[in-house]
Structures are given as structure tokens and as C-alpha cells.
Chain A
Amino acid sequence: MLCDGRVALVTGGSRGLGRAICVMLAREGAFVAFNYAKSDADADTTLAAITAAGGRGSAHKVSVLDKPGLTALAKSLDAAHGKIDILVNNAGFGQVVPLALMEESDWDDMLDTHVKGAFLTTQAVLRIMVRQRYGRIVNVGSLAGVKMMQAPVHYATAKAALKGFTESLAKEIGRYGITVNCVAPGILDEGVSDHLPPARKEEYLRHCALRRVGRLEEAATMIAFIASERASYTNGSTLVVDGGV
């Protein structure tokens, strides 16, 4: 198993890609803690899926914008397990809105959840990773943050910011045996791509060499690999999982 004995924290783990990442890491042997902001029922579903995959995990209702809550979460995981090996900054959401109609609050919500959330969660967990001189941080980006494509400007901006976050942080903390990478999926069959206008999906498929959208598990598999010891020399990279666009 790729992550046997590891302790992972996944943000936004109650639904969509987050849930798939939780299940994949559990299947690969990790204890998986995840946070969520809204639905207890969704969180229960993820926990059940983790268990069904033969794994163990815990759910924590803490917003990625709640700094004290994140600090307490990181401390409690460290206290319970003695470490946090893996952090997946996944929390985020999609929104279909052109710039002309975008409200300031839309912009702030998008940037806050994706970028500030990753910053706050990473800062809370980094203390533990620096101390243990080991860590795997995986930021969930998007093809929209890497290539020019039809995507909401604030979403593309937030995902591109995560790429910069990845590269700068990788340089800053590599000395402690902590790698930081970004996995940038193209359009997937569930999750934030759910409500894309059909025309955008069709355009994507026209440019995709595999002529299909991806599955959540395909992105989650890459994330589990990057979070594993097998990817020990991959650092500061953005790995695109898009079927060849």
C-alpha cells in the first residue's frame, strides 16, 4: 500500500473529489482525518466510505477559514496519532459566473476558500511537519489554473495561485523533508464539474486526447501517489491529470 501507517488530513473531505481522496488514502493504508464546513450527513457518508474501504478516519466540522479551529484540529490529530504525514488542501467550490456579473463577495469567497484556506490549514499543520522533519503536502489545483480555458476568472485565479503557493512553499520548507506538490485535474465526472454548462464540457472533450472526462478516482490515485513515499523526489511540481488536453 502506498500510504501504510501514514496519518493524513484532507480538507473539504465530505463530498466530491475530497471524498474520493479520503477513500483512496484509506485504501492505501492511511488514517484519514478530514474537515468539512456544512453537511454532517455528507461527512457521515465519507466516514462510511472510508470504513467500507477497510480504512479508519475521523470527521471534523471546522472551516478552512477558522484559524484557531484548524490549529486545534492539527494539535488534536498530533496528540492522538503523534504525527501528521499528509495534508491535502482540497477544499473549494465551483461557480459559473462571467466577470461582468461577478460580485466582490464572489471573488472573496472563491479566493478565501481556495487560497486563504490552504494557507491557514498548511500553517497549522506545518508546525508538526517541521518538527517531525517529514511531510507531504498536496494542493488540489485545476487545469484552469495552468492553461487558458473557459473557466470562471476567479476560479482560474484561485487555482493558479495554488500553483504559486506550491512552488514557493516547496522551496521554503524542502529542507525539512517536506514536499509540496500540486495536482491539477481537468474536468472530472463529479465534484465541481457537476454543473458546468454542456457547451464547455463538449469543448473540453474536443481537445482531450482520451475523449472523455476523468473519474474522481483517477485524480485521487495521483494524489495518493504524490502523497506517498514513492514520490519522494517529486517536489514543487504541478501534475496535470487531464487525459491529454
Chain B
Amino acid sequence: MDCTSCNSTPTRPDRPHTFFAHEQAACPSCAAPLEARVVLRDGHVVQLIRCTACGPQERVVSHDADAWVRSFLDRGVVPEGLVGDHLFKHTTSTCPRCLALVAAQVVIRKDRVFFLKDCARCGPSEALVSEDAGYYVKAYSFARAGTEPLIFRNTAEHGCPTDCGTCDDHEQHTCLPIVEVTDHCNLECPICIVDNQYSKHMEPATFAKIVDGLVEAEGSCESLAISGGEPTSHPEIVELLKIANRPEIGRVVLITNGIRLGKDRELAQTIKDMGVYVGLQLDGFTADVHTKIRGKDLVKEKTAALAMLAELDIPTQLIFVATKGVNDHQIGQVVELFLSGSHFLSLNFQPVAYTGHGGGTFDHDPNDRLTIPGVIKRIDEQTGGKVNYTDFFPLPCSHPQCVSLTYLLRLDDGTSVPFARFVDFEKHATLLRSSATLPATPEVEDALADVIHEVFARQDEIERGPEILAALRRSLDEMFPKRPLSSRDAFRVSERQSKSIFLHHYMDRHDFDLERLRKCCHHYPQIDGRIMPACGFNMFHRGAAKGPDTPRAKFGRAPFSLPVIT
């Protein structure tokens, strides 16, 4: 039985509906054309409409949500023999030149998905948004209801993305908060989002206020990422880590390029002793790749950082920004590295977003770029099937077009096998409706029992079935030993039972999709209390979507700012 006085962390409520998509609609009162939010609620399909003249309204579209979803997915079937584009749906994107919000047709062309846009001021444009139409369409079947923060920092007034902060129309709580603690850096990366001004390190008191606000809004967070600039440039970084290391935060992740970490043993040991995790930026293994993406040869620095992390057994996330024609041939190599070390807990591929101070001007072709399916395809090809295309599935926590992932179970011989080989991910997708990790809840325990019995029953048919059973048994023994572990130790032991590979495609001015932003769960908490969905912040509030000369949106407020900047 839970102790009510000890169990004081409030529970975040579920959203009252499943956000599904945006579609073109008309105001039921004044007939003005606008974009509606389509949600599934109690078996019905409802359009939620926010008309600036008539206020919020709603309209029931269907009384059979299952049938409606099936018909929606059927729209993605291209008629046989069709020549030209097949219209799948509509959404709202941005003009790549002036950044105005514009209507976009989402079309399927030769098994790929494109946005077709026509800005009244700048004219037409096209952008590739997915290299696999089948994956793109099916991803919508992974839509699940999100959960709400305890406090919305803003109320919807003008509509998305103007009211960011988040507003009460936002469809997901903060799954991964990222706090930028400095605008100093020891690199000038050609691909970087941030326009580092070398002007300010965040005061510990300010950082503490941000964390307080985050905990107030969320109750608890599975993780908190500390970023920059380069956060190890901050002279008081250890103090910041101490502030973040509090019971409401499951894990503190220091996102770093590794330059200081590789040569500063004292800092690395402190990180280890504090139980802090490291998110190491590692985009490749050769001088030419580092030079193109990070501006200089970093082979020695990355090697040193990797050695330090391995030696101290620091739990590590690898972050690989995947860029077509630059480092996409080294995708398999980073997967192999990731699989080789037990301290590597996750690998995060980010198909590059051509946005921000550097990224906005990085040489690219918006119609020939990497998207999530393209990275998965390269993982498959370059690992010889160790991890293959069908091992991945869309993450329901975020918008399903934003993140794809797979989990890998650690077998007793040190190798790993993807969960998708023995788990029906679609069946258990709801478990990941508001998190990318599995909490110790009764429904997760229930699902685990299901998985164990499924593998037990089909062990002769499943690839490496008996080894998987043995690994599951080992996991239970390690997580529930005869002498009980502290909750912190239990957490550490449990997260080493498996690994995860994520692919997170941040958006830019070409593939921006307002529908995706509405359910963003990676947020930047700000000094003024706002908690900003990442791509909206990067696109409209940093003022650097196209590069350093992009004007900031009228409603935007810059990082490190308190007053509204007009």
C-alpha cells in the first residue's frame, strides 16, 4: 500500500482526447476557413476549432473513431497506375523564404512524402518530409493520448505557435526538458542551431529557479538535459549539476561535445560520482566529417572522451547528427560502437534540421535529404541486419512523425537483440504514450508479463528465443535480488538491461509541420517560466531559422530574456 504522506508527487492527468492530426475546416459559425485539430474522444472523432472571431468551437466528424482512422490511413494508399502526386492530407508549414505559416499539401510521390506549399508573398516551394510513404502513413496509427503538465504556463489565445509556453492547447507534457545554461562554446559548428554570443553563463540561482519551475509544472521529470553552448564551458557547471540532481529529476544528462571531458579527469570523476549521465555528441569518426559538421578535426578529442567514459563507466548517450553525403556512411559504425559498450545506454540519431545560426545556412537540398526512414535504412544496411528496418516504430509520446525508436535487450553473451523481434510494439504502444522510457507502473508490469509469456510460448519460433528467455530471467534476478536494492540502485540496474536507439527529426523551415509542434514533448524551460516546445523555439523564438540574419517572429522572445522582444 502506498503511503499517502510520502507519495507526494502529484500525478499528471491524461489529455481528455487523443490528438490525431490537423485538417482543413471551416468555422461552424462564420464559415471562415481555418485549420482544425482532429481528436479522438470517447469513440468519436471531433474537430476542435479556434476561430479568432468566434472563439473555440468543436464539430463531431464521425461517431466511429476506429472506422474513421482506418479511412484516414486508407487515404495513404496510392491508386494503382497513378502518375504524379497523390494527396494524402493537408497541414500547416512555413514558407522557407519568409517563414510565414502557409497551408501545405502532404503528397505521396514515388513512395516518398513531400510538402507542397504556395506562399502568397514568395511563391511555391516543395520539401521532402519522409523517404518512406508507407512508414509515414502508418505512423499515424501510433497516435495516443498525451498527458498534461500540472500547470500550463500560457493560455491559448492566438493559436499555435504564438502562445508557446506551453499553452493549454498543447497536447503533451514535458518529456525531455533541455536547459541551455551558457552561450559560450569551445567550437563553432557549421551545423549548430544556436547563435552563441559568448555573453553570459547562467547564474546558479537562475538555473535553480528554472528547475523549480519545471518541477512545479511537471511534478517530476524522468530526465533533465543540460545544454548550451557547451555546458562544460560554464565555470560553475558542477554547481548546476548539483542543483539539478534532486529527487524529482530521474536523471541529469550533460550534453557535451566531450572536448573538456576527455582531458579533465576531475570533472569526469565528479560526473561519475554524482550519477550524472553524459550525452556525447559524436557525428562520425574521421577528420573530414568532423570538419564539415563541427568545423575542425575532433578525432583525438572524441577518442579521448570515449575512453574517459568507458574507463569510468559513465552512463552515456551518443548523439549523432546525420547529414546526407557527409556522415551517413558512418551510421553503421556508430551503431557498432554503441552496441559494444555496456555503459552506452542510448543512441540518438538526429537527421539534420537545417535551421538555426549554422544549420540554416548549411549547404543542403530540401528535396534530397535524410529523414527518419533514410537513417533506419542505413542502420539496416550498415549493420548487416543486426538492427534492421522493421525493428523500429514511431514513438507515441511525441507526434509519431517526430521520433522513431527501438529497444535492444542485452543477452547474456553481451550481444543485443531488438525488442521488435519478440514484442508486438504496436500492441504495447500505449505504454509509451507520455514517455520514451518504461516506468515501473502496474500496466508496464502487466505488459512485461505478457512479453515473458509470449516469448516462453513461442521460443522455438523466435530468433534466439531461449537466449531471450535467459536474458529476461537474468534481468529479473538483477533487478529484484534477494537483498533489496535502494530505489536509485534499482533504477541504475534496470536501465542496463536494455539499450535504445532513437531517431529524432527536429524540424526546419522546409519540413515544419504545425501538427507535429502541437504534440512536441522536448522542451526548453526559460528564465521567465515558459517551457518552450523545441522546434517552435528554434524556428520562431531564436530568430535564426534561416541563419544569423533571420528576423525574430513578432511573438518571439529570445533565450536568456525576460521582457517580450518586439
A: residues with CB less than 8 A from B are 126-128, 130-131, 172-173, 175-176
Provide the bound-state CA to CA distance between A176 and B456, in Å: 13
Question: Which residues of chain A are near B457, meaning CB under 8 Å?
Answer: 126-128, 130-131
Contact of A127 among B449, B450, B456 (CB under 8 A): B456
Ranked nearest first, the 4 interchain pairs of A and B with the lowest CB-CB distance are A130-B457, A131-B457, A127-B457, A130-B453
CB distance from B454 to the nearest CB of A (A): 8
Chain B, range 451-485, C-beta contacts under 8 Å to A: 453-454, 456-459
| Pair count A-B, CB < 8 A | 18
CB distance from B473 to the nearest CB of A (A): 13
Digit string of B431-465 for contact with A (CB within 8 Å is 1, else 0)?
00000000000000000011001101111000000
Question: Which residues of chain A are near B456, meaning CB under 8 Å?
Answer: 126-127, 130
Chain B interface main SS type: helix
Chain A interface main SS type: helix
CB distance from A171 to the nearest CB of B (A): 11
What residue of chain A has the Cβ atom nearest to residue B450's Cβ?
A175
What residue of chain B has the Cβ atom nearest to residue A75's Cβ?
B460
Sampled A-B contacts (13; CB under 8 Å)? A126-B456, A126-B457, A127-B456, A127-B457, A127-B458, A128-B457, A130-B454, A130-B457, A131-B457, A131-B458, A173-B453, A175-B449, A176-B453
Provide the bound-state CA to CA distance between A175 and B456, in Å: 15
Provide the bound-state CA to CA distance between A128 and B456, in Å: 9
The interface on chain B, measured as residues whose beta carbon lies within 8 A of the other chain's beta carbons, has a size of 8
B: residues with CB less than 8 A from A are 449-450, 453-454, 456-459
Provide the bound-state CA to CA distance between A162 and B450, in Å: 24
Contact of B459 among A127, A172, A176 (CB under 8 A): A127
What residue of chain B has the Cβ atom nearest to residue A129's Cβ?
B457
CB distance from B494 to the nearest CB of A (A): 22
What residue of chain A has the Cβ atom nearest to residue B458's Cβ?
A131
What residue of chain B has the Cβ atom nearest to residue A173's Cβ?
B453
Question: Which residues of chain B are near A176, meaning CB under 8 Å?
Answer: 453
Provide the bound-state CA to CA distance between A129 and B255, in Å: 49
What residue of chain A has the Cβ atom nearest to residue B461's Cβ?
A131
CB distance from A172 to the nearest CB of B (A): 8
Provide the bound-state CA to CA distance between A218 and B552, in Å: 87
What residue of chain B has the Cβ atom nearest to residue A132's Cβ?
B457
CB distance from A50 to the nearest CB of B (A): 29
Provide the bound-state CA to CA distance between A173 and B452, in Å: 11
What residue of chain B has the Cβ atom nearest to residue A172's Cβ?
B449
CB distance from A84 to the nearest CB of B (A): 12
CB distance from B466 to the nearest CB of A (A): 11
CB distance from A3 to the nearest CB of B (A): 23
What residue of chain B has the Cβ atom nearest to residue A133's Cβ?
B457
CB distance from B422 to the nearest CB of A (A): 14
CB distance from B472 to the nearest CB of A (A): 15
Provide the bound-state CA to CA distance between A59 and B457, in Å: 25
What residue of chain B has the Cβ atom nearest to residue A127's Cβ?
B457
CB distance from B459 to the nearest CB of A (A): 7
Provide the bound-state CA to CA distance between A126 and B450, in Å: 14
Provide the bound-state CA to CA distance between A176 and B454, in Å: 10
What residue of chain B has the Cβ atom nearest to residue A131's Cβ?
B457
CB distance from B456 to the nearest CB of A (A): 6
Question: Which residues of chain A are near B449, meaning CB under 8 Å?
Answer: 172, 175
CB distance from A229 to the nearest CB of B (A): 22
Provide the bound-state CA to CA distance between A176 and B457, in Å: 11
Given contacts A126-B456, A130-B454, A131-B457, 6 further A-B contacts (CB under 8 A): A128-B457, A130-B453, A172-B449, A175-B449, A175-B450, A176-B453
Question: Which residues of chain A are near B450, meaning CB under 8 Å?
Answer: 175
B449, B453, B459, most chain A CB atoms within 10 A: B453
A130, A172, A173, A175, most chain B CB atoms within 10 A: A130
CB distance from B183 to the nearest CB of A (A): 54
Question: Which residues of chain A are near B459, meaning CB under 8 Å?
Answer: 127
Provide the bound-state CA to CA distance between A184 and B119, in Å: 80
CB distance from A125 to the nearest CB of B (A): 11
Question: Which residues of chain B are near A130, meaning CB under 8 Å?
Answer: 453-454, 456-457
Provide the bound-state CA to CA distance between A175 and B448, in Å: 13
CB distance from A79 to the nearest CB of B (A): 11
Question: Which residues of chain B are near A172, meaning CB under 8 Å?
Answer: 449
Provide the bound-state CA to CA distance between A131 and B458, in Å: 7
Provide the bound-state CA to CA distance between A146 and B449, in Å: 30
What residue of chain A has the Cβ atom nearest to residue B454's Cβ?
A130
Provide the bound-state CA to CA distance between A167 and B108, in Å: 55
Provide the bound-state CA to CA distance between A100 and B505, in Å: 74
Question: Which residues of chain B are near A127, meaning CB under 8 Å?
Answer: 456-459
Provide the bound-state CA to CA distance between A20 and B459, in Å: 35
Provide the bound-state CA to CA distance between A172 and B452, in Å: 12
B450, B456, B457, B458, most chain A CB atoms within 10 A: B457
CB distance from A225 to the nearest CB of B (A): 27
Provide the bound-state CA to CA distance between A130 and B456, in Å: 9
CB distance from A76 to the nearest CB of B (A): 13
Provide the bound-state CA to CA distance between A126 and B449, in Å: 14
Provide the bound-state CA to CA distance between A83 and B450, in Å: 20
CB distance from B443 to the nearest CB of A (A): 13
